[in-house]
């Protein structure tokens, strides 16, 4: 084969083989390898946590891993003119201050948020400080804009938790910053309220971790409990066998070896000894002597022994169960704030659909 023929063959292979299509920067990314090396066992690829990124000029209220809320406000785009007592918005630039983050407790009043905003830039040097009020929609839902006549101004003494529960109806609320009640020289900052999935995200993670650990302990506990019940059943069967052996020995000695004259006092004393031992056991246990009580005591003793032998911490198991119940209760309480609103959203969407059809 000549050199020209070989060259043409190589060029033909290059045109037909799509290897160049896969030799890109995107396909040489090591993000998936980093994900496999750092992510937990329950983490899914392409699953991203809700980031704290803000839309243009819109604030955001985010939950945290604790019971606090994180309020992010784009105060860097607000410009204050103390002389003319006016507040305005300007587009974000490179030198614009980053958004301001405020940590809030659900039991704190709205006046606390107002003071934090007044103490932040660019209002820290304003004298007098501007007025800060909080407003949310009434009778609206998250897919419709809130008419101005349906806005409610909330009292500064309202708790943050109560305010957020009501603001979840429209999925957002607004922060009004102004120097006068007419709001002619003020700004309005819209803030997004987290959804039920966002607010319960950290609680669900903790619940999943607790349930995973609890499932392993439950499996070991079921094994130990089953073994304890089998041991108690074997003990009861062994007791019946001992009674049968006792009856056979007494019958043999009475009718074949010694006779009734010798065996009568022996059987009497052995029976009386059994009654005395049973009464002593009753005094020691402090409970009624019955088959169920003896069986329960045997199962409980055997179960505790198996727990220690297999390394099962029953106190930790009880704590995990209590923690899981508390987390489910907290998640349910949060979801209750959103379920009526979601039903109203569906009704509103149906009304919109009927209007469009009409």
Contact 117, 75 (CB under 8 A): yes
- Please report the beta strands in 264-329, taking only residues with DSSP state E, as ranges in sequence order: none
Confidence (pLDDT) at 70: 87
Burial 133-166 (b: 16+ CB within 10 A, else e): bbbbbeebbbeeebeeeebeebeeeeebeebbbb
CATH 3.10.20 placement within the chain = 59-194
What is d(CA 17, CA 112) in angstroms, rounded to the nearest whole number? 66
Tell me the pLDDT tens digit for each residue of 157-189: 888 888 888 887 777 888 888 876 656 677 888
Task: Write out the chain's pLDDT in tens, 358 residues.
Answer: 455 555 565 555 555 544 344 444 334 444 444 444 444 444 554 444 445 556 666 888 888 877 788 888 888 777 777 667 777 777 777 777 788 888 888 888 988 888 888 888 777 777 777 888 888 875 444 445 555 566 788 888 888 888 888 887 777 888 888 876 656 677 888 888 888 888 888 889 999 999 999 999 999 999 888 888 888 888 888 888 988 998 888 888 888 888 888 888 888 888 888 888 878 877 887 766 666 776 777 788 888 888 888 888 888 999 999 999 999 998 888 887 776 554 555 555 666 666 666 5
Confidence (pLDDT) at 82: 67
- Listed residue (59, 48, 194) closest to 117, CA to CA: 59
Confidence (pLDDT) at 346: 57
pTM (two decimals): 0.59
The domain over range 59-194 is classified in CATH as 3.10.20: yes
Nearest-5° Cα angle at 298, 229 to 220: 45
Tell me the pLDDT tens digit for each residue of 43-84: 554 444 445 556 666 888 888 877 788 888 888 777 777 667
């Amino acid at each position: 084969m000549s050199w020209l023929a070989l060259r043409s063959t190589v060029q033909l292979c290059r045109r037909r083989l799509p290897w160049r299509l896969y030799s890109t920067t995107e396909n040489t990314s090591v993000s998936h390898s980093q994900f496999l090396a750092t992510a937990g066992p329950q983490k899914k690829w392409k699953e991203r946590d809700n980031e704290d990124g803000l839309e243009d000029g819109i604030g955001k209220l985010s939950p945290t891993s604790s019971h606090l809320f994180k309020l992010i406000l784009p105060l860097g785009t607000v410009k204050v003119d103390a002389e003319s007592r006016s507040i305005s918005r300007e587009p974000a630039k490179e030198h614009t201050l980053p958004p301001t983050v405020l940590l809030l407790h659900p039991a704190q009043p709205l006046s606390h948020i107002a003071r934090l905003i007044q103490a932040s830039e660019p209002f820290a040097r304003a004298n007098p400080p501007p007025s800060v009020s909080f407003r949310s929609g009434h009778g609206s839902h998250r897919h419709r804009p809130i008419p101005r006549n349906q806005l409610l101004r909330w009292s500064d003494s309202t708790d943050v938790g109560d305010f957020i529960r009501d603001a979840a109806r429209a999925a957002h609320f607004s922060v009004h910053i102004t120097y006068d009640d007419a709001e002619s020289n003020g700004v309005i900052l819209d803030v997004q309220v987290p959804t039920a999935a966002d607010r319960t995200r950290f609680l669900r993670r903790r619940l999943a971790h607790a349930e995973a650990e609890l499932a392993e302990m439950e499996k070991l506990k079921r094994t130990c409990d089953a073994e304890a019940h089998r041991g108690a059943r074997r003990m009861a069967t062994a007791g019946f066998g001992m009674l049968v052996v006792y009856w056979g020995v007494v019958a043999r000695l009475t009718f074949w070896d010694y006779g009734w004259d010798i065996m009568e006092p022996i059987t009497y004393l052995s029976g009386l000894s059994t009654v005395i031992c049973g009464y002593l056991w009753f005094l020691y246990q402090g409970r009624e002597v019955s088959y169920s009580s003896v069986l329960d005591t045997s199962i409980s003793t055997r179960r505790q022994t198996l727990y220690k032998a297999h390394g099962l911490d029953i106190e930790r198991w009880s704590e995990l169960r209590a923690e899981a119940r508390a987390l489910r209760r907290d998640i349910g309480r949060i979801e209750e704030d959103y379920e009526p609103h979601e039903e109203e959203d569906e009704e509103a969407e149906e009304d919109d659909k009927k209007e469009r059809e009409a």
